[in-house]
Amino acid sequence: MTAPSYEKPSQLSVPSKVLNRDLGLIFTSNLVGAFGDGLYAYLLPYYMAEALGAGSVEVGALYALVSLTAALTLLIAGALADKYDRKKIMIAGWIAWIPAPIIFAFARDWTQMIPGMILWGFWLGGPTSTAYIVTAADKDRLTLTFTVISSAWSLGYIFSPAIGGYMAGKVGMQTVFLISFVLYVLAALVLVFIRSQHAQPPEHEKLESHPSTWQLLKTRKLAAVSLFFAAIMFVMMMFRPFVPKFLADIYHYGDFEIGVLGSVAFAGSAVLGIALGRFGDKYGKKFALAGLMILCSFSLTIMLLTGDFCLLALAFFLTGASYTVWSLMSAVIGPMAPEPIRAKWVSIPQTISMFASILAPYLGGVLYSSSPKLPFAVAIIVSAFLTGIALIQKF
């Protein structure tokens, strides 16, 4: 079976310039699913604490469980995506998420969230979608393609946290969770219409002739890149779950205001993600990564210094850049991989990044318990260090 041919994209807008039919459907699926996810995801740590009695350490532990599950499923997803139809593996990824908001809706204490958090951590689509996109995309605009597709998540989150916060105050979080369930189902259905894609070794090669997962782990270049992105993911996951709680505890904002700031952050992610994608394709991916880390440090500094809503809105717009880490990682690692084992190759740094970030929310919770500003201050310092590391990389 040969790889499908892909038509040239039109020149009407940024998405249509880089997305063909199948990538456009992936964009749409991400947009619908992200809207459903954003209705509750940004408020979830706050909901765990206020409604279900979870302390900061328990919140961190629950998010660590999500990262652990993701780490355990990414390698499996990579192996499956190189052996079977990548389209079906991506659909299975959404199917795994579908029960999660139902479980959240009926949880009456934080321990009952555990099964839902495990399912929420299933990330079968991570390496699978990366491999699919690299094979289907215009190679000259690969960074932009990844950030545009990632921007679908950001666009889905622009209004959904504010809407979710408003609905939570009016009709309760249970209704919010149920609406998210419906949107997850729709996201899975959209992917039914993309073309199938199988990993295809060149005619003179057999799949068995390529390195095993253990051999790939010994590849120096892949190991170095994996450790670098693992450090970035650790920093992001150390502070991110505690942003809504910080806004409530320190600046005394409620559900709606926290939701609005979340929407601003994802608006920033959509705009800055595309800008970083263009920048990375033109000047180099390492400069896009350095810019991401600088924006993250600057935005967290503003958040620590002031509770003024307008200045916080600016900070949250800038911190939206931090949500493009995964797409930039995919743009860096995807082209390195041989097509027949691309998903397996990509799954290795993704898995290492997830394993590295398993303890990050827990550490963030411990730091937050000591001082609410501490996890953010540590993130600022480490992000500055990682900026320097990014600039000496050879991507």
Q: What is the mean pLDDT of the chain?
A: 82
Domain count, the chain: 1
Structure tokens belonging to residue 373: 């500003």
Residue 52 lies in a domain: yes
pLDDT value at position 32? 94
pLDDT value at position 313? 93
Residue with tokens 């990579």: 78
pTM beyond 0.75, yes or no:
no
Contact 32, 183 (CB under 8 A): yes
Q: What's the mean pLDDT in 6-23?
A: 59
pLDDT in tens, 258-303: 878 877 887 888 888 888 888 887 888 888 888 889 998 999 999 9
Contact 89, 77 (CB under 8 A): yes
Closest CA relative to residue 343, chosen from 27, 81, 54, 14: 81
pLDDT value at position 3? 36
Closest CA relative to residue 43, chosen from 30, 57, 59: 59
Structure tokens belonging to residue 111: 């321990």
Residue 67 belongs to domain spanning? 14-196+211-391
Q: How crowded is residue 87: how many other Cβ atoms within 10 Å of its Cβ?
A: 22
Residue 308 lies in a domain: yes
pLDDT value at position 6? 37
Kindly give, in sequence order, each residue whose CB lies less than 8 Å from that of residue 146, ignoring residues fewer than 6 positions away: 130, 133, 137, 277, 327, 328, 330, 331, 334
pLDDT band at 5 (very low <50, low <70, confident <90, very high): very low
Residue 263 lies in a domain: yes
Is pLDDT of 91 > 90?
A: yes
d(CA 338, CA 344): 10
Contact 9, 20 (CB under 8 A): yes
Is pLDDT of 210 > 60?
A: no
Structure tokens belonging to residue 182: 């419906």
Is pLDDT of 217 > 70?
A: no
Is pLDDT of 182 > 70?
A: yes
Which CATH number belongs to the domain containing residue 67 in this structure? 1.20.1250.20
Q: What's the mean pLDDT in 26-43?
A: 90
pLDDT band at 53 (very low <50, low <70, confident <90, very high): confident
213 vs 96, more confident: 96
pLDDT value at position 7? 41
DSSP structural state of residue 321: G
**What are the helix (H) ranges across the chain?**
14-18, 21-41, 44-52, 56-83, 86-97, 100-106, 114-121, 125-136, 142-171, 173-190, 213-217, 220-239, 243-251, 255-283, 285-305, 309-319, 325-333, 342-356, 360-370, 374-391
pLDDT value at position 15? 56
Residue 7 lies in a domain: no
pLDDT value at position 380? 93
Length of the chain: 395
91 vs 274, more confident: 91
The percentage of the chain sitting over the pLDDT mark of 70, rounded to a whole number, equals 89
pLDDT value at position 138? 75
Contact 29, 193 (CB under 8 A): no
Residue 203 lies in a domain: no
pLDDT band at 1 (very low <50, low <70, confident <90, very high): very low
Q: Which residues of 70-84 are buried (b: 16+ CB within 10 A; e: fewer)?
A: bbbbbbbbbbbbbee
Highest mean pLDDT range out of 66-70, 74-78, 95-99, 201-205? 95-99
Contact 377, 301 (CB under 8 A): no
Highest mean pLDDT range out of 73-77, 79-83, 191-195, 206-210? 191-195
Residue 272 lies in a domain: yes
Residue 206 lies in a domain: no
Residue 204 lies in a domain: no
Q: What's the mean pLDDT in 319-339?
A: 77
Residue with tokens 């959240």: 104
Is pLDDT of 226 > 60?
A: yes
Highest mean pLDDT range out of 18-32, 154-168, 318-332, 345-359? 18-32
Q: What's the mean pLDDT in 378-382?
A: 92
Is pLDDT of 178 > 70?
A: yes
pLDDT value at position 33? 93
d(CA 211, CA 125): 22
pLDDT band at 8 (very low <50, low <70, confident <90, very high): very low
Structure tokens belonging to residue 29: 């699926």
d(CA 159, CA 263): 5
d(CA 121, CA 291): 28
How distant, in Å, are the alpha carbons of 73, 131, 136, 245, 304 from that of 373?
33, 39, 44, 11, 7
Q: What's the mean pLDDT in 71-96?
A: 87
